[in-house]
Amino acid sequence: MTLKQLEVFVAIAETHSFSKGAEKNCITQSTASQHIHALEEELGIRLFDRGRGGALLTEAGKLFYNHADKILTECKHTRSVINRFLGMEDVVLRVGASNIPGTLLIPAVLSQFIKEHPKARLEVVQGDSRSVLRQLIDEEIELGFIGGRFDDDRIEFESMGRDTIVCAVSAELVDGYKSSFSQEELCKVPLVVRESGSGTQKAVYDALAKTWINKESLNIIAVLGSTEALRRALLNGIGYAFVSSMSISEDLSSGQLQTVRIPGLNISRCFYAVRRQGRELSPAAAAFWDTMTSRWRDSSDTRA
């Protein structure tokens, strides 16, 4: 049983004519007869009575017509849905983002994306980099934008530019704490850090691994779950923290926060657009991927 056979059957049922049904489907009458014969052979019952009144549905034909018509109606609806999908109409694109991409990078391109694709709706789910990758693998999102690279053959990573990570402290604490100190002194000051799944924290630990410092030797007084929480802890004078320079740029400009120089320790990291390896993107996802990567790919030091 094929859709073409159903289309021919419905056309003949509605016109009560093999010739008109064939014409409606742009085929010959003999071809239409062959389609109906094949259907009747498969179903094991006659669908039409042929007489002076034309092609009239049998009782079995009437029953079959109701179901065939619903199938064709649903197929038309499905084609319409796919056409809207291809044209990015009434489409919801779900993406995941870690703190900095979700707070700064995505909003910076949002007006451009909405202008170019006004009928597509973007939904951003924020979490740390590892949680974004889990959502991507579980197919809860179609794209991700994160602040670190992890070893996973199921994920395709594309670099989107670099960000500098600085050690910062409240300006109020500068008098009580040194604004420049050695790697040894870093282990003695109170330190607030991000959770282990954070791309920022991964970059910090990767950089420290190249020195004699290990994370067990740090004086960590708190572990917080977001960049904003880290920023507010700094503003409240809790201690020191390694943060993205982008996330505290206004606080640095206003003088509320200051950076601390640590000789021999320079930390930067890439942002990455991520997608499932070997999977075709929807038109909306492909468009947003291109928008994000073309905007940020050439940034050696990302600025929103």
Degrees, nearest 5: CA angle 105-271-292: 45
Tell me, what's the pLDDT at 298? 57
Tell me, what's the pLDDT at 112? 93
Supply the Cα-derived Rg of the chain in whole angstroms.
31
Q: Which CATH number fits domain 91-161+269-296: 3.40.190.10, 1.10.1530.10, 3.40.50.10440, 3.40.50.2300?
A: 3.40.190.10
Mean pLDDT of the chain: 88
Closest CA to 58 of 36, 28, 25, 31: 36
Among positive and negative, which fits the CA dihedral 195, 197, 199, 202? positive
**Domains of the chain: which residue ranges?**
3-86, 91-161+269-296, 164-267
Pseudo-torsion of CA 277, 125, 135, 269, nearest 10°?
60
Q: How far is CA 1 from CA 23, 78, 82, 154, 270, in A?
A: 21, 19, 23, 39, 54
Tell me, what's the pLDDT at 106? 94
Tell me, what's the pLDDT at 178? 63
Q: What is the pLDDT of residues 222-262, one digit of tens each?
A: 999 888 999 999 999 999 999 999 889 999 999 999 998 88
Could you tell me the pLDDT band of residue 64, with boundaries at 50, 70 and 90? very high
Rounded CA-CA distance 212/267 in Å is 15
Q: What percent of the chain has pLDDT over 90?
A: 54
pTM of the model: 0.67
Q: How far is CA 19 from CA 16, 23, 89, in A?
A: 9, 6, 39
Adjacent-strand bridge partners of 80 = none
Adjacent-strand bridge partners of 25 = none
Tell me, what's the pLDDT at 273? 96
Adjacent-strand bridge partners of 268 = 164
Q: What percent of the chain has pLDDT over 70?
A: 95
Q: How far is CA 221 from CA 143, 164, 178, 190, 240, in A?
A: 34, 23, 18, 6, 10
Q: Is the pLDDT of residue 75 over 90?
A: no
Q: Is the pLDDT of residue 141 over 90?
A: yes
Rounded CA-CA distance 222/209 in Å is 21
User: What topology is assigned to 3-86 in CATH?
Assistant: Arc Repressor Mutant, subunit A (1.10.10)
For residue 219 the two structure tokens come to 């004086």
- Identify the architecture of domain 164-267 in CATH: 3-Layer(aba) Sandwich (3.40)
Which amino acid is located at 102 in the chain? G
Look up tokens 């619903």; give the residue. 70
Tell me, what's the pLDDT at 179? 66
Task: Tell me whether domains 3-86 and 164-267 share a fold.
Answer: no
Rounded CA-CA distance 40/207 in Å is 74
Closest CA to 107 of 163, 145, 149, 161: 145
Element (H, E) at 160: strand 155-170
Spell out the alpha helix ranges (H) of 138-226.
Answer: 183-186, 199-208
For residue 117 the two structure tokens come to 């694709």
Rounded CA-CA distance 93/238 in Å is 39
More confident residue, 103 or 83: 103
Tell me, what's the pLDDT at 84? 67
Q: Is 230 exposed, middle or buried (0-12, 13-18, 19+ CB in 10 A)?
A: buried
